[in-house]
Structure 1
Amino acid sequence: MMERKIGQIAMGVVIMIVMAQIPPRVYEGWAPYLYIFCIILLVAVDAFGAISKGAQRWLDLGIVRFQPSEIAKIAVPLMVARFINRDVCPPSLKNTGIALVLIFLPTLLVAAQPDLGTSILIALSGLFVLFLSGLSWRLIGIAVVLVAAFIPILWFFLMHDYQRQRVMMLLDPGNRPAGRRLSHYSV
């Protein structure tokens, strides 16, 4: 088990070193293809995905099983950055709206699996790029108010019971049922 983990870490380091040698313009060129590929895979998960522990998140290709949502963590910020970079910053209201669609299309596909944690990470990765593009504080304030207004809808109508329990355990660790552990992976 330990040898396998060390091998995976070594492979990850090698991949990081290789990827760091690729010029940013290459990533910019790949962004639309990676994004479209990601959307196709996320839709394929819904149609053909393997169900594990009550969630349909995995694509089983025989020799390898993987989560397309992991690709979205890279594809979404790359695509948003490419889209915003083609115009002047800060982006116009229209371009901000298009960027939000680019962010929330894969976010909603992942949330439907259901994978709330990963969908939040995908949304935040795209929103962070949008924030760094120089949005006005007024727009950011409006977005914060809208998100705050959406939280009760999310909590009462969109989240599953186990997701609400995990959030409550995260917010109040002392009020955990006996024997129940909460790792940062399960939030």
Structure 2
Amino acid sequence: MRRGATLAMSAISLAVVGLGLRASAKPAEDQNTASVLPSRTTPVPGRTPTGSRTSRPPTGSRTSRPPTGSRTSHPPAAPRTTSPATPARLTFTGTLVDTPYGPVQVELRIRAGRIVTAKAPVRPQGDSQTDSINRQAVPQLNQEVMQAQNGRIDTVSGATYTSAGYKTSLQAALDSAHQAGAL
């Protein structure tokens, strides 16, 4: 019984060695393959695998890793994405906000990530008192935006509705600037 087991093991060993020698005696047809044995996990495009071998390769073989210095057919790395360069000067206009005395709309000019101009091309106007109040309040609000460089500005006394409309429109313009990556 021992003799039969020994003979069987010897026959299996010879078959494995014979297959290995036969495979290594074949000339390498593709210089991009990782080993001498054909790999079923990485087929060469346009070819069908040869042989009907379905068992796993012997332990210690290097079919999954190419030798150092060999060329492989890995896809190229994805290009790095960078933020788009912002133009030198950008203009962002806030929403048109209705107030009891008329509409307000803020316009911001941004250069190199800073607010360089804040103005309200649309402001409440009509009667002399509204015009007088807004002639003083709007420049003051513009100046506060320039100093603060954000939307946290104070309400101008006597121009509460204009200030509230200005802040709402200002915030919309700032949101647009942030979304565009200008701030």
Shorter-chain TM band: under 0.3
Greater helix content: 1
TM-score normalised by length of structure 1: 0.22
Rg comparison, structure with higher value: 2
TM-score normalised by length of structure 2: 0.23
